[in-house]
Amino acid sequence: MQDVVEKIYEQVVARNNAEPEFHQAVREVLESLGPVIAKHPHYAEAGLLERLVEPERQIIFRVPWVDDSGAVQVNRGFRVEFNSALGPYKGGLRFHPSVNVGIIKFLGFEQIFKNALTAQGIGGGKGGSDFDPHGRSDGEVMRFCQSFMTELARHIGPSTDVPAGDIGVGGREIGYMFGQYKRLRNSYDAGVLTGKGLAWGGSLVRTEATGYGAVLFAQSMLATKGETLEGKKVVVSGAGNVAIYAIEKAQQLGATPITFSDSSGYVVDEAGVDLELLKQVKEVERGRVADYVERRPGARLVTQGSVWDVPADVALPCATQNELDGQAAATLLRGGCGVVSEGANMPSTPEAVEAFSSAGILFGPGKAANAGGVATSALEMEQNSGRTRWDFATAEAKLTGIMADIHDSCVAAAEEYGRPGDYVLGANAAGFTRVADVMLAHGIV
């Protein structure tokens, strides 16, 4: 089996040159599927692994737009429709200067298994652009989004491909894109985008879902040890939607989050994060974490080192890929960390994951722990189909149930394949088998 995996991985590297994040995501999945293929060799015999690592469709396009000074700007847009075995492609759009085809492919590949774990009939995809909305006026963001959607619209639809938000894409950007899609198609297809405003097809809990889900997954992992989050000290990275609402849910469950971060540094607030102030700074003012420190006595801004230098019981990486490396993992472990639940996509490097595994702590990989966002996006699609809207309690209860089911699926798969407590194997095995069985049923397509 190892020879088979290595051969497939070498093909991926050769075909997808200079895409290290995609290579990393593929290797992590392939290396954990050995026990699955050993027990079910027909998956390998049908060429499922080779098919799974090759996207069904990759779209790259030019996005021209005009800035406020009248100058023409040109960005690059992407959409990778990776796998539609379980349903329409589903995955966010990321607007950030770091975006390239390799980043989008890594995210889309992860999305296949994450979406499968939700058991909601959605396939895997991802998209975005190297456009940076930070510091741009609303008019500039609108013109960019309209140009971006002018091309993207021909490739998406409620039963084909349903994008959502991600880094750099919030309610403002989704609104501009939906308006342009509606204009182009002359059709109010509410289900074509998720993360919409509540007045025009959005779902309650969607904003909170990814952060809430990561904390709920941590709570489920702790429950296997007879523990809860009550009284636990928590370090959180990031200061966007995921981080803010991870902090909120952790506080609701009795924990004390003491950090958050952005590209300017990280904040340590030993008294516990003032959530309302953080929301004001980041969501209303679109400010920096330093603005929080200026108004919060006792909080301090640290511009050197890493947020993972702060001792805590629980770590919630909620910023971006590969933010937590092997050295940071060792520091966390020395500081007494016993639980890591990934709110971001692949935030831990392979060295960090190995350190957590060797230490035997509870580690929830992103494809399971941060699936709450896409799960609630699918709930939004369900509401759009029925032209209805649930109240907050109903939507949150559904999210809570889905996260519990994802956790239990991971636990059951890890036990089935001989590695109890290994959530990485559990998530990959459970997600893979759901997709693989349907791919077999659909034939060679």
165 is in an annotated binding site: yes
Q: List the alpha helices (DSSP H) in 121-258.
A: 138-152, 171-185, 209-223, 241-252
Distance between CA atoms of residues 386 and 383, nearest Å: 5
What is residue 60's three-state secondary structure?
strand
326 is in an annotated binding site: no
Question: Which residues does 286 contact at the CB level (< 8 Å), separation at least 6?
Answer: none
Distances (CA, A) of 138 to 60, 72, 133, 135, 442: 25, 17, 9, 9, 45
Clarify whether 182 is annotated catalytic: no
User: Is residue 90 within 8 Å of 77, Cβ to Cβ?
Assistant: no
Q: Which residue has the tokens 């004390």?
A: 256
Buried residues in 379-413 as b, exposed as e (16+ CB within 10 A): bbbbbbeeeeebeeeebbebbbebbeebbebbbeb
Question: Which residues does 166 contact at the CB level (< 8 Å), separation at least 6?
Answer: 92, 93, 94, 107, 126, 128
90 is in an annotated binding site: yes
Distances (CA, A) of 351 to 216, 236, 347: 25, 20, 11
What is residue 318's three-state secondary structure?
coil
279 is in an annotated binding site: no
Question: Which residues does 159 contact at the CB level (< 8 Å), separation at least 6?
Answer: 88
Name the pairing type of β-strands 362-364 and 256-257.
unpaired
Q: For residue 168, what are its two tokens?
A: 């750099």
147 is in an annotated binding site: no
Distance between CA atoms of residues 377 and 61, nearest Å: 25
Q: For residue 9, what are its two tokens?
A: 């991985």
Question: Which of 7, 39, 105, 126 is an active site residue?
Answer: 126
428 is in an annotated binding site: no
Q: For residue 395, what are its two tokens?
A: 């939507």
- Residue whose C-alpha is closest to residue 316's, from 256, 220, 247, 408: 247
114 is in an annotated binding site: yes
Quote helix, strand, coil % in the chain, to nearest 5.
50, 15, 35
User: Is residue 315 within 8 Å of 333, Cβ to Cβ?
Assistant: no
- Report the catalytic residues: 126
Task: Provide the annotated binding site.
Answer: 90, 111, 114, 165, 210, 241, 377
Q: Which residues participate in the annotated binding site for substrate?
A: 90, 111, 114, 165, 377
